[in-house]
Amino acid sequence: MPESSAPIALGIVGVGKIVRDQHLPALAKDGNYRLIAAASRHGKVDGIANFPSIEAMLEATPELDAVSLCMPPQFRHDAARTAIDAGKHVFLEKPPGATVSEVEHLKALAAAKGVSLFASWHSRYAPAVEAARAFLASTRLRSAAINWKEDVRRWHPNQEWIWQAGGFGVFDPGINALSIATHILPAMFIAEAVLDFPENRDAPVAAHIVFRTADGMSVPMELDWLQTGPQSWDILAETDDGSMVLSSGGAKLALDGRIVHEEPEAEYPMLYRHFAEIVRAGTSDVDLAPLQHVADAFMLGRRNVVEAFYD
């Protein structure tokens, strides 16, 4: 455990797209951390010690205080267990695991070991999310809908894991919508779901879901991974005080068609700031609500086989 003001000695595991796009730039500007090691079978981070596995990294670098686990979700639990057993604080990329129960297991392990566990939900830190939450809390909701439609060929080229069982398919982006929805909308439960599986894949390419709130309001969610042209990452609401559109993945908020909130995004700098806070406070932050909805969709959903998908 670092002195309260000393930088947290951090190791990063699974050096791929999100590490290069977001983690390294965020860490480079954050004085709360010293990134001293990386573990990856192929990827490397310049200027620090690199290892082929988390076990090798932990053994050679006992001064590590914390690790960030950035591999695909199917492989996160083993790495997290290894890190917690070694007494390290753990930052989990989203989704925090491939199943709900394995993340519950990590929560219990972290509590027993006295280390911090952070299930990061980067979309919750999108610039307009808190403003949307405040607006919805100030009014009465009449209806809501979620549309998350993007082009998988553009955002996930050559990622095989994402199409495998446990890779989540279209729920990989869809869980970002759920991480926002569970933060700004009233509690809701899946009432109906149809998941479209390409005939040659083990994960869905689209999902058609209806949530129901405790008051009986239906909230449809459409996930689509074959959207070309403009991309939609939107949560829409009608309220007693007019319409709300939270768009661009939580970056923009419009009320009655007028943009009231739009700022440059800083999701990963905010995630790392929060992780430093919980490490220093000796607490954990593991909200499983978005993952539980995905699990429920797979449990309740009807499987619809659709045309094969090729990159």
Query: Mind telling me the catalytic residues?
Result: 94
What angle in degrees, to the nearest 10, is found between the helix axes of 100-113 and 76-85? 10
Coil, strand or helix at 136: helix
Beta strand extents in 15-79 (DSSP E only): 33-39, 49-51, 66-69
End-to-end CA, the chain: 45
- CA distances to 73, 94, 108, 260 from 161, rounded to whole Å, are 9, 14, 27, 38
**CA–CA separation, 136 and 185 (whole Å):** 7
Q: How far is the CB of 161 from ligand NAP (least distance, A)?
A: 5
- Between 119 and 244, name the residue whose CB sits nearer to ligand NAP: 119
Binding stretches for ligand NAP (CB under 6 A): 14-18, 40-43, 70-73, 75, 93-94, 122, 159, 161, 172
- Between 58 and 237, name the residue whose CB sits nearer to ligand NAP: 58
- In terms of phi and psi (left: phi > 0; alpha: psi -120 to 50; beta: otherwise), the region of 242 is left
Q: Which residue is nearest to ligand NAP (CB)?
A: 16
Which of 31, 30, 34 lies closest to 8, judged by CA? Answer: 34
Q: How far is the CB of 208 from ligand NAP (least distance, A)?
A: 22
**CA–CA separation, 49 and 70 (whole Å):** 17
Which of 89, 86, 24, 27 lies closest to 60, judged by CA? Answer: 86
**CA–CA separation, 213 and 191 (whole Å):** 9
Q: How far is the CB of 34 from ligand NAP (least distance, A)?
A: 22
Q: How far is the CB of 169 from ligand NAP (least distance, A)?
A: 11
Q: How far is the CB of 11 from ligand NAP (least distance, A)?
A: 14
**CA–CA separation, 78 and 103 (whole Å):** 11
- Between 168 and 197, name the residue whose CB sits nearer to ligand NAP: 168
- Between 16 and 186, name the residue whose CB sits nearer to ligand NAP: 16
- Between 64 and 152, name the residue whose CB sits nearer to ligand NAP: 152
